[in-house]
């Protein structure tokens, strides 16, 4: 730990110039250095525990090997972890590292944070939002390569990735249909976001596809949390023609449905089957019986976002692409045949 060892120390120790060291370590193919010297230099470098200073090389190369990840409230949700891990893993594999920054809902703060990232010369930015339609990007981003995570721009001008909400709902509802249910209710969301419309659409698609009639009487909506879920489920389950299957907007809502069923003395899945959306371990695996649900692929989306970003940065320019990820069904114990 005497002196910080840099490229000159290696050069001195190996008896060559810094130029040669640099060539030996980086340009594997370059014929500017004798294979023997190269090998020697590498050995010496390893011996000394040489680690290049990335500030210096970033400065010289105009490439920091840093990616910015800016996000809004999404970091307060249980999904944040998976998304960020996906992004990180992908970045790591390609020699990049992530600078994570979150702004809550404050656009002023967000702009300052973006400027900070730019001062650190990030090579690109992953812009993660709670999925709303028509996100508009802050002007600060300028020409910096960017991709949207869990959101999309109205004009489709930059690449983005979101879950396929429609297909997710179809999968969920079809799980009920395949179990034999024909009177399937939905506990929907009142928020005007893509997930609401997409999942409702998927619900209708699945009914249609299997020759079941859509019945507005079987759909209610509320705030997508457990308390509201319990209330609207209570109401729905007390309608004269009680549904035997319930498609819930989210796992949290489904938890409310469990509570409602318990309050009414209905057993799951014998009396009523339930499926959710999200696959929140904390809830889906904890409920009793376990909740059958479709998983939102946050890890995979995080991965995709930085992979795409790095392709943009390192490769030739290509057209923006809007990606949709499908959501697999996770079967636990909340779906069974309908009572007769």
Partner DNA sequence: TGACAGTTGCAAAACGTTTTGGATACTGTG
Partner DNA sequence: CACAGTATCCAAAACGTTTTGCAACTGTCA
The site for a copy of itself (CB under 8 A) is made up of 1, 51-56, 58-59, 64, 66, 75-78, 80-82, 84-85, 88, 92, 97-102, 113, 115-121, 142-143, 225-227, 230, 252, 255-256, 259, 262, 280, 282-283, 285-288
Between CA 192 and CA 198 the distance in angstroms is 11
Q: Spell 147-156 as b/e; 16+ CB within 10 A means b.
A: bbbbbbbeee
Cβ at position 7, least distance to a copy of itself in Å:
13
Length of the chain: 340
Q: Which does 37 bind (CB under 5 to 8 A by kind): DNA, a copy of itself, none?
A: DNA
Q: Which does 118 bind (CB under 5 to 8 A by kind): DNA, a copy of itself, none?
A: a copy of itself
Cβ at position 158, least distance to DNA in Å:
25
Tokens, residue 145:
């390569």
Report the phi/psi class of residue 95: left, alpha or beta, with left for phi > 0 and alpha for psi in -120 to 50: left
Binding site for DNA (CB under 7 A): 4, 6-8, 15-20, 22-23, 25-27, 31-35, 37, 50, 52-53, 56-57, 59-62
Cβ at position 292, least distance to a copy of itself in Å:
16
Q: Which does 100 bind (CB under 5 to 8 A by kind): DNA, a copy of itself, none?
A: a copy of itself
Contact 129, 74 (CB under 8 A): yes
Cβ at position 204, least distance to a copy of itself in Å:
28
Q: Which does 34 bind (CB under 5 to 8 A by kind): a copy of itself, DNA, none?
A: DNA
Cβ at position 313, least distance to DNA in Å:
15
Tokens, residue 48:
């000394």
Cβ at position 253, least distance to a copy of itself in Å:
10
- 19 or 133: CB nearest DNA: 19
Contacts of 79 (CB under 8 A, 6+ apart): 296, 298
Tokens, residue 3:
């002196």
- 29 or 213: CB nearest DNA: 29
- 26 or 76: CB nearest DNA: 26
- 166 or 233: CB nearest a copy of itself: 233
- 34 or 157: CB nearest DNA: 34
- Among 125, 124, 120, 86, residue whose Cα is nearest residue 103: 125
- 3 or 192: CB nearest DNA: 3
Q: Which does 133 bind (CB under 5 to 8 A by kind): a copy of itself, DNA, none?
A: none
Between CA 51 and CA 212 the distance in angstroms is 65
- 231 or 323: CB nearest a copy of itself: 231
Cβ at position 118, least distance to DNA in Å:
11
């Amino acid at each position: 730990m005497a002196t910080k060892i840099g490229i000159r120390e290696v050069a001195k120790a190996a008896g060559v110039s810094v130029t040669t060291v640099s060539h030996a370590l980086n340009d594997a193919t370059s014929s500017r250095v004798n294979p023997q010297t190269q090998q020697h230099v590498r050995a010496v470098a390893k011996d000394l525990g040489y680690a290049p200073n990335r500030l210096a090389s970033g400065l010289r190369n105009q490439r920091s090997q840093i990616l910015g990840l800016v996000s809004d409230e999404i970091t307060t949700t249980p999904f944040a972890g998976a998304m960020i891990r996906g992004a990180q893993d992908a970045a790591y594999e390609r020699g990049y590292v992530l600078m994570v920054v979150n702004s809550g809902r404050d656009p002023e703060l967000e702009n300052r944070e973006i400027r900070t990232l730019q001062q650190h010369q990030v090579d690109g930015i992953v812009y993660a939002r709670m999925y709303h339609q028509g996100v508009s990007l802050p002007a600060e981003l300028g020409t910096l390569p960017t991709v949207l995570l869990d959101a999309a721009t109205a004009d489709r001008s930059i690449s983005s990735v979101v879950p396929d909400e429609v297909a997710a709902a179809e999968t969920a509802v079809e799980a009920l249909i395949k179990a034999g249910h024909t009177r399937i209710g939905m506990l929907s969301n009142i928020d005007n976001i893509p997930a609401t419309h997409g999942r409702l659409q998927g619900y209708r698609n699945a009914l249609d596809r299997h020759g079941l009639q859509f019945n507005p009487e079987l759909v209610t909506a509320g705030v997508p949390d457990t308390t509201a879920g319990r209330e609207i489920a209570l109401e729905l389950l007390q309608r004269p023609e009680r549904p035997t299957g319930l498609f819930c907007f989210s796992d949290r809502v489904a938890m409310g449905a469990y509570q409602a069923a318990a309050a009414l003395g209905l057993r799951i899945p014998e009396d009523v089957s339930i499926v959710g959306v999200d696959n929140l371990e904390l809830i889906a695996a904890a409920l009793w019986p376990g909740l059958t649900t479709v998983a939102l692929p946050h890890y995979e989306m995080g991965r995709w976002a930085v992979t795409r970003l790095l392709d943009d940065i390192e490769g030739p320019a290509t057209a923006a692409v809007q990606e949709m990820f499908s959501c697999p069904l996770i079967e636990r114990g909340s779906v069974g045949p309908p009572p007769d």
